[in-house]
Amino acid sequence: MIYRKLGPSKIDVSAVAFGAWAIGGWMWGGSDEQEAIEAIHAALDHGISLIDTAPIYGFGRSEELVGRAIHGRRDKVVVATKCGMVWDREEGEFFFHSSQEGITLRASDKKIYKCLRPESIRAELERSLKRLGTTYVDLYQTHWQESTTPIADTMATLMKLKDEGKIRAIGICNANLMQLAEYGPIDSNQEKFSLLDREIEQDGRLAYCRRTGVGVLPYSPLANGLLTGKIRPDRQFGAGDLRRGNRRFSPAGIEKVNGMLDQLRPIAEQHRCSIAQLVIAWTYSQPGITSVLCGARTARQAIENAAAGDVALSAEELETIGATVRV
C-alpha cells in the first residue's frame, strides 16, 4: 500500500480508502451489518487507513457501523465524515425528498436540506462524534455546497472546530472552481472522478488542487461497481438501489463498458490483478490524486480493493488504460 500526505495537513492516508456509503444501505438497496463490519475490519487489516462516511449515509447508520468497527483501534484509522445534508430541520436550501431507502418524488417523505450554517454544523458534528464513538474527526468535509450561507461563515466555523481540537483537517466536496477558490486553506477536495467521469480533469478543478497543494479524494472511482467488469448485463438491482433504472446500468450500457474493460485484460494479466484493481491503480496514479474512495460491502471486495495499492503501472500502461475506457 502507498501512503500519502492529505494535502497540507500532517495526516498520512492510504492511496486506497474505504468508502462507507453502501454499508449505510441508503440508495444501495439495504446492507448487512455483520458483513459491513467485517468489510471494514478486512480493509484495515489490509493496509487501508482512511474511511469516508457521512451522516446522510443511512441517516446515521453508516457512521454507527464505522464507530463499532473501529472501536479499540481508533488511533490507527483516519476517519473522514461530512456536514451539510440535514433531515431534522428545514433550513438552508431544499435538496430532495427521501425515504429510508433512497431519493423519492413523494412530498410526504423526509425533506433533505443542504445547510452549512454555523450552528447547524456544530450540532451535526456532535451527533457524528457520538455515532462514531470518538472525540475528534480527522477530516471534516462540507458534503454539498449551498447558496444561503456565505462560504466565509462556514469556513470560520470549521477553523474554530479545528482550533478546539474537534476536527484535524478541513475538506469540501462537490464544489465548483469558484467555490473551491473561495474556501481558502482547505486540506482536501472530494469529487466524482473515474475513467468514465473525467469532469474535474476537464474543467480545471484537478489542476487547481495540484497547483495549490489541496488533496483530491475521488469518489465513485468504480462508477458504482460498473468498472469492476463483474456486472453482467442481466444483473437485477434491488428496490432502492441507485443503479436500478440508471442508463449506465442498462444491459446495453453494461455491455459497452465491459467491452472496453475486456481490452484491458492483457494488462491486468501481466500484473496478475483484477480489472477493479487495475482501475483503482489507474485512478490513484493520476497526478494530483491523493486517496481513492472505493465503496465496498464485503470483506472480499475490501481486500481486493486494498490490494490495488500494490499495483504499479507504467506511464505507457496508464495512457493505454485512460485512452481505452472513456465515455
Asked whether position 305 contacts ligand NAP by CB under 6 A, the answer is yes
Residues 24-83 that bind ligand NAP (CB under 6 A): 52
Strand, coil or helix: 127: helix
- Grid-cell match 455546497, residue found: 145
Asked whether position 221 contacts ligand NAP by CB under 6 A, the answer is yes
Asked whether position 102 contacts ligand NAP by CB under 6 A, the answer is no
Asked whether position 132 contacts ligand NAP by CB under 6 A, the answer is no
Cell of 255: 455491455
Angle, helices 299-307 vs 275-284, to 10°: value is 50
Pick one of 219, 249, 282, 284: the residue that binds ligand NAP (CB under 6 A). Answer: 219
Could you give the CA distance from residue 177 to residue 103 in angstroms, rounded to a whole number? 27
Pick one of 220, 258, 285, 286: the residue that binds ligand NAP (CB under 6 A). Answer: 220
Question: Which positions from 134 to 153 touch ligand NAP by CB under 6 A, shown as an x/- string?
Answer: ---------x----------
Compute how many residues bind ligand NAP; rule: CB under 6 A.
27
Pick one of 115, 222, 267, 321: the residue that binds ligand NAP (CB under 6 A). Answer: 222
DSSP 154-181: HHHHHHHHHHTTSEEEEEEES--HHHHH
Buried/exposed 186-197: b ≥16 CB within 10 Å, e otherwise: bbbbbbbbbbbb
Asked whether position 197 contacts ligand NAP by CB under 6 A, the answer is no
Strand, coil or helix: 313: coil
Instruction: Determine the interface stretch with ligand NAP among 164-172, 206-214, 253-261, 290-298 (rule: CB under 6 A).
Output: 290-298
**What single-letter DSSP state applies at residue 219?**
E
The nearer residue to ligand NAP, 164 or 235, going by C-beta atoms, is 235
Strands, E assignment, 9-151: 12-14, 16-19, 50-52, 78-83, 85-86, 93-98, 103-104, 110-114, 137-142
Per the annotation, the verdict on 3 as an active-site residue is: no
Asked whether position 293 contacts ligand NAP by CB under 6 A, the answer is yes
User: One of 3, 57, 113, 208 is an active-site residue; which one?
Assistant: 57
Give the residues lining the site for ligand NAP (CB under 6 A): 19-22, 52, 143, 173-174, 190, 219-225, 228, 230, 276, 293-297, 301, 304-305
Residues annotated as catalytic (active site), given as ranges: 57
